Amino acid sequence: MASYELKNTQILGGHEAREVSSHDRDDFHLQRLGKSPVLKRNFGILSILGFSCTIIATWEGLLDTFIIALTNGGSAGAVYAYIFAWTGTTCSFLVLSELASMAPTSGGQYHWCAMLAPQKRMKFWSYITGWLAVIGWQAAFASTAFLCGTEIQGAAILAHKNYNAEAYQGTLILWASLIVALAVNLVGGKFLPRLENLILCVHILGFFGILIPLTYMADHRTKEQVFIEFTNGGGFATDGLSWFVGMTGCVFAFAGGDAAVHMAEEVANASRAIPRAIMLSIVINGTLGFGMLIAVLFCMGDLEVALNSNTGYPYIEIFYQATNSVPGTLAMVSVNLIISVCSVIGMLAATSRQFWSFARDRGIPGWRWWSHVSGRHLPTYSVYLTMTVAWLLGLINIGSSVALNDVTSMAVSGLYASYLTVALLLLYRRCCGDISTSDDNDEMIINVPGAKLVWGPFRVPGILGMLVNGYACIYMTIVVFFSFWPSSMNPSIEDMNYSVVGTVGVIILAILYYFVRARNIYTGPVMEVSM
């Protein structure tokens, strides 16, 4: 174990007080969580806000997936599903923000599970939570790259009527987006944070660049058509069941709220900046997403033509019906394509950091390799592995785009299952009063297994915190349950949702590895420093 001199405005045990930089203070807090600072803190509050906003990318993601809500729920169903997803995600993000403020490490969910779980169950529960997060993030990264590649292909189909699109071409474009993401991530330094500042501007200004011409040029539907008409396109037993299935389209548009968490060890003043970035991102993205949803529903035109668009993306056809201009449509679509490529860049960073952190704590086979940090303070091997996984998953598209769409469901189920685990544990701890509201620095180590639990600077106090936490648990349970459902009753073999097979299959393999080897080497978050 390495020993580190503790530097803070007030040194533990009553030592001499001294003035320190914010960088030293961040390192001090990280050491109190048992971790050695090895990554550079290049992100500030604005750049991590841009990072969080453009990974969640609600209004852009909604254009890609809202058709699921339209098929099962119709226009009215999509509106109310979005509101439900927005409120549920807000409560869920509040819980994540509280936990990130308590323990701002790249590990995120599995670290929080370890610090909150009963000591006897800590190791196994933390291990499974870590693997759920691995599944969710690896699947989310591959899904984002898939959407990026096929959207570019869809734009090419619109631009060139004689273009004979092939599935392998979509995979090649997917791979090209991965290469761009890899190149940006390997640059290191302050390049990515500065890029995120620029992307945030594109994210907000691009919204108006699409909204204004869409609402000005399109014929408008009536408010009754938008807010009252429900559709049960999947043939489910009730409209309510159909609505819950369609809701997953809106849920995916909010996925990735913990992205900023996994960059925590590269963010200045992380215990405050991360919660602020998460909550501001849900306000900004939620507002922009709702505005785009209402605009598209009012300007939708012929839905059947949009659903059968040879571009593969109904929103492209909706834009074309509104503008009746191929160049105009391509200009609008290009905004979404820019954000899609930039989302792939950010997703690679967040996914590789989550994987690196879990490897650092010996939860993954070959952890010595994947926990390596290069001289440029980058988890290079984890970046390469994450890239390779998405590269291989992209091959699925050649055989079946439906099968690759199931990877999207794996992203939702994996991520939200990991959120649910820690949310339930936090609710239990706060109801029992096990978390202290003050930190007088008497305890050298906090918020790790067996140590004192202390609230961070950000929390929702009292009964309101319990209500928010409880609602988040209910919402996430619903999301996980319906993420495994097919989009229609009596689906064919090709249309079946196989995400449950992928998610549960990986968990079974992880459990087997646990009993064969991991239980002897994985002990929860490794204490890298002694104090």
Q: How many residues does the chain have?
A: 531
Alpha-carbon span 352 to 330, nearest angstrom: 33
> Residue 402: what pLDDT?
65
Mean pLDDT in the chain?
A: 88
pLDDT on residue 386: 96
The residue-averaged pLDDT of 382-405 equals: 84
State the pLDDT at residue 401.
65
Q: Please count the other Cβ atoms lying within 10 Å of the Cβ belonging to residue 281.
A: 28
Average pLDDT over residues 95-115: 95
Above 80 in pLDDT, residue 154? Answer: yes
**CA distances in angstroms from 407 to 284, 380, 502, listed in the order given:** 27, 25, 8
* Lowest mean per-residue pLDDT among 150-154, 330-334, 496-500: 496-500
At 57, the amino acid letter reads A
Q: Does residue 18 carry a pLDDT above 60?
A: no
- Nearest Cα to Cα of residue 274 among 94, 510, 502: 94
Calpha distance 196→209 (Å, rounded): 19
Give the residue-averaged pLDDT of 295-320: 87
**Confidence at residue 21, expressed as pLDDT on a 0 to 100 scale:** 58
Confidence category of residue 432, pLDDT binned at 50, 70, 90? very high
CB contact at 8 A, 258 and 415: yes
Whether the per-residue pLDDT at 4 is higher than 60: the answer is: no
Query: If you average pLDDT over residues 244-249, what whole number do you get?
Result: 89
H-run or E-run covering 3:
strand 2-3
Q: Please, what's the largest Cα pairwise distance for the chain?
A: 76
Q: What is the mean pLDDT of residues 452-480?
A: 95
Q: pLDDT at residue 37 above 80?
A: yes
Predicted local confidence at residue 346, as pLDDT:
94
pLDDT of residue 210: 94
Chain-centre distance for alpha carbon 352: 13
How far apart (Å, rounded) are the C-alpha atoms in residues 116 and 455?
12
Confidence of residue 404 (pLDDT cuts 50, 70, 90): low
CA 145 – CA 504 distance, rounded (Å)? 23
Q: Decide if pLDDT at 347 tops 80.
A: yes
Q: What is the DSSP letter of 484?
A: T
Does the pLDDT at position 17 exceed 60? no
At 261 the pLDDT is: 94
DSSP per residue, 60-114? HHHHHHHHHHHHBTHHHHHHHHHHHHHHHHHHHHHHHHHHHHH---TTTHHHHHH
pLDDT surpassing 50 at residue 413: yes
> CA-based Rg of the chain, rounded to a whole angstrom?
23
pLDDT of residue 13: 39
Q: Which residue has the tokens 């849920």?
A: 251
Nearest to 182 by CA among 312, 314, 302, 349: 349
Please give the pLDDT value at position 384.
Answer: 96
* Predicted confidence band of residue 12 (pLDDT cuts 50, 70, 90): very low
Which range has the worst mean pLDDT, 255-269, 312-326, 493-507? 493-507
What is the predicted pLDDT for the residue at 403? 63
Nearest Cα residue to 51 out of 339, 293, 384: 339
pLDDT of residue 249: 84
CB of 173 closer than 8 Å to CB of 153? yes
Residue 436 β-bridge partners: 454
Give the pLDDT mean for 405-420: 85
